[in-house]
Homo-oligomer: A and B are copies of this chain.
Amino acid sequence: MKRFFPILDWGRDYSRETLGNDLVAAMVVTIMLIPQGMAYAMLAGLPPQAGLYGAMLPLLIYALFGTSRTLAVGPVAVVALMTAAAAGQVAAVGDAEFHLAALALAALSGGMLLVLGLLRLGFLANFLSHPVISGFITAAGLLIAGSQLRHLLGAPVEGKTLVDLIPSLMAHLKDIHLLTLLLSVLVLGFLFWSRKGLAPVLRRVGLSARAAGLAAKAALFAAVAASTLAVWLMGLDAQGVRTVGDIPRGLPGLSVPAFDLDLLTLLLVPAAMIAVVGYVESVSIAQTLAAKRRQSIDPDRELVALGAANLGAAMSNAMPVTGGLSRSIVNFDAGARTPAAGAFTAAGIALALVFLTPLFFYLPRATLAAIIIVAVASLLDFRALPRTWAYSRADGAAMAATIGVTLIIGVEQGLLAGVVLSLLLHLWRTSRPHVAIVGQVPGTEHFRNVRRHEVVTAPDVVAIRIDESLYFPNARFLEDCVNDEVAARPGLSHVVLMFTAVNEVDASALESLEAINARLKEAGVALHLSEVKGPVMDRLRRSHFLDQLGGEVFLTQFDAMMRLSPVLTRAALAEPRRETMRDSPVPATPPHRVPG
C-alpha cells in the first residue's frame, strides 16, 4: 500500500512544525502560481481559467501519489507551448475544439504515463539524451518568447517557428501599440531587477534575510497588482491595452470529456512527446531536489503520479501539467517538507477562483507575457551548445539539430530529429569501433595500447583489444580488422582477442568469429581469447564455437602471454615499472620492442 500511496508514509509523522513549513511554502507558491497559471494558459492558447484549474485537481492528485516531497506540479511553459502547437494542428485558437484538443492531450499523455508507470517502463525516457532535452528547452524557450511578442507589443505578430515569426514581426513593426510596449518594458524591467535586486532592498528596510528572500518571490504579485491598478485607475483599456477580461467565478466542474476517436488518433504522437518531455523535466527536477535533502524518488511511481495528475487535468477542464522548475525551487527554498504543500497550494488557488477572479478583469495581458518571458529566460542556455560540441561532436550535432529543427520546422519535429540523430550517431560509432594492439606495460601484468604506452610485444603473437561489444553492425568490421592485422604480420603463430570491452557477442558476430577461427586455422595460426566476461562466456558455451576454437580461452591477458611467450613476458614483468602513457597516440605502425 505504501508503495502506491506515499502519503501513508509521510502522513504518519506529520507534525505541527511540518504543517507550518508546508503552509508558508504553499502561500508563496500560490502567489506565484495565480499569474503563472493564467500566463501559461494564454501561452497554450486557452482561456486563463484553464491554467488555474490546472493548478487545483492535478496538485491534489500528485500529493496523493507523488514520491517527491517538493515537486510543484501545474502548468509549465514548455508543455504549454507543445500543447499550443499540437492543438493548433486540429483547431483554431478560441474554438471549442481547441480546448477539447488540449484536454485530449492531457488525457492521452496522462494515460500513457500511467501505463508506462504500471509497466515499469520509465527507462524509455532515457532515450532522450541530455543534449537533446537541453537544446529542445532552449529552442522552445525562444519560441515561447517569440509567441509573447504580440502581447508585449500589442501588435498581431504571429508564427509557430522563427521562419514565420521574424517576417511577421517585420511586417507589424508599424502596428506596435506604444502604451502596451511602455507597460511591457516597465513590468519586464521590474521583474528582471527583482530577481536579484529586490531582496537586498527588503533587507535594508528591516526584513530578515529569509523573509526578504521569500517576499522577493512575491514580485510577480506586485507586478500584477500594480499593472492591474494602473489599467483600472487610468482607464488604459479604453486606450487599447488588452486585458484578461472576464474569468468565470467558481471551481471547475468534473466531467469526462467526449473525445472522438479521430481526434485521439491525430494527437497520439504529440501527446507522447508531451508525456516524455514533461516526465523527463519533472523527474530531473525531482531528483535534483531530493538529492539535496538525501531523499530519493521512484521514477516509476512518478510516472503513475504525473499520469494521474494529467488525467485529473483532463477531467477538470484544465490543460496538460507537469513538475515546473522555478516553482519547485521556490517551494523547496520556502521550506516545503511534504506533498501536503501542494494540496495547500491547490486550496489557495480554489480560494482565488471563488473570491478573486473579478480582480483580474483589468490585468493586462502584457503583464502575463512579461511573466512568461522572465520564466523562460532562466531556461535559455546558449553556452550549452559550444560546450557540448567541444566535448563531443556527436552530442553537439544532436543538440544543434534539435535546436535548428525546433526553431525552423517545429517542436515535435525538433525533438524527433534530436532523438533519431543521437541514436543513429551512436549506431554509426559502434559500427566502427576503436581497436588497439596491446602489449605488456613493463613491471606489471597489465596490457595497453602499443600506440599510447611504451609496452613489450612478442614477435609471433598479436593481441588485439576490440573496444566494443561485438554485434551485427561491426561483425564484418571484426573480420576485416583481424584479416588486416594477420596479413601485416608474416610469421605470426597466435592471435589473442582481448575481450575486456566485449559485453555481448550476438549471432552475427559469432558467425564472424567462427569464420575468423576457420581462416586462421587454415593458415596455421591459433586464435585465443582472453578476459572473456561471465555473461559472454555463458553465451559462447551455448554454441559450438569453443569446441572449434584453434587456441584457448585465458582468464587474463597476462596468463595468455605467459603461455604463448613465457620468456619475454617474465622478463617484462621483472623490468622496473615506468609510467609511460603518451598524451596522444603514435600515428605510425606499432613498434615492436624486444627487451634485451
- Residues in chain A within 8 A of chain B (CB atoms): 123, 126-132, 291, 296, 299, 388, 390-392, 394-395, 422-423, 426-427, 429-434, 436, 441, 444-446, 448-449, 451-452, 467-469, 471-477, 483, 500-504, 506-508, 510-511, 515, 519, 531, 533-535, 538-539, 542-543, 555-556, 558, 579, 581, 584-585
Residue of B390, B430, B445, B500 touching A500 (CB-CB under 8 A):
B500
Contacts of A503 in B (CB 8 A): 433-434, 467-468, 501
A585 touches B506 (CB 8 A): no
CA distance A169 to B531 in the complex (A): 56
Asked if A504 meets B429 with Cβ closer than 8 Å, knowing A445-B445, A467-B533, the reply is yes
Contacts of A430 in B (CB 8 A): 469
- Chain B residue, CB-CB nearest to A389: B507
As for how many copies of this chain the complex holds, the number is 2
Contacts of A123 in B (CB 8 A): 431-432, 473, 476-477
Contacts of A543 in B (CB 8 A): 391
Q: How far is the CB of A474 from chain B (nearest CB, A)?
A: 7
CA distance A392 to B123 in the complex (A): 22
Besides A391-B543, A392-B539, 13 other A-B contacts (C-beta < 8 A): A126-B473, A126-B477, A391-B507, A391-B539, A394-B506, A422-B472, A426-B471, A434-B533, A436-B533, A444-B556, A445-B446, A467-B535, A500-B531
14 sample A-B contacts, Cβ–Cβ < 8 Å, listed by A number: A126-B472, A127-B431, A129-B506, A130-B472, A130-B475, A131-B507, A390-B542, A392-B539, A394-B506, A423-B427, A434-B533, A434-B535, A467-B533, A468-B469
Q: How far is the CB of A457 from chain B (nearest CB, A)?
A: 17
Residue of B427, B444, B445, B500 touching A501 (CB-CB under 8 A):
B500
CA distance A416 to B543 in the complex (A): 27
B444 touches A558 (CB 8 A): yes
Contacts of A476 in B (CB 8 A): 123, 126, 299
B441 touches A474 (CB 8 A): no
CA distance A477 to B123 in the complex (A): 8
Q: How far is the CB of A5 from chain B (nearest CB, A)?
A: 23
Asked if A474 meets B511 with Cβ closer than 8 Å, knowing A444-B445, A467-B533, A556-B444, the reply is no
- Chain B residue, CB-CB nearest to A399: B507
Contacts of A500 in B (CB 8 A): 500-501, 531
List of 3 A-B pairs having minimum Cβ-Cβ separation, nearest first: A129-B472, A395-B507, A130-B508
Q: How far is the CB of A278 from chain B (nearest CB, A)?
A: 17
B535 touches A127 (CB 8 A): no
Residue of B127, B433, B444 touching A473 (CB-CB under 8 A):
B127
CA distance A556 to B507 in the complex (A): 32
Residue of B128, B394, B449, B501 touching A534 (CB-CB under 8 A):
B449
Contacts of A390 in B (CB 8 A): 542
Q: How far is the CB of A293 from chain B (nearest CB, A)?
A: 12
B131 touches A508 (CB 8 A): yes
CA distance A424 to B533 in the complex (A): 23
CA distance A430 to B449 in the complex (A): 25
B431 touches A129 (CB 8 A): no
Q: How far is the CB of A432 from chain B (nearest CB, A)?
A: 7
CA distance A127 to B506 in the complex (A): 13
CA distance A128 to B507 in the complex (A): 12
Q: How far is the CB of A337 from chain B (nearest CB, A)?
A: 21
B555 touches A506 (CB 8 A): no
- Chain B residue, CB-CB nearest to A428: B123
CA distance A473 to B474 in the complex (A): 20
Q: How far is the CB of A277 from chain B (nearest CB, A)?
A: 15
Q: How far is the CB of A429 from chain B (nearest CB, A)?
A: 7
Contacts of A515 in B (CB 8 A): 291
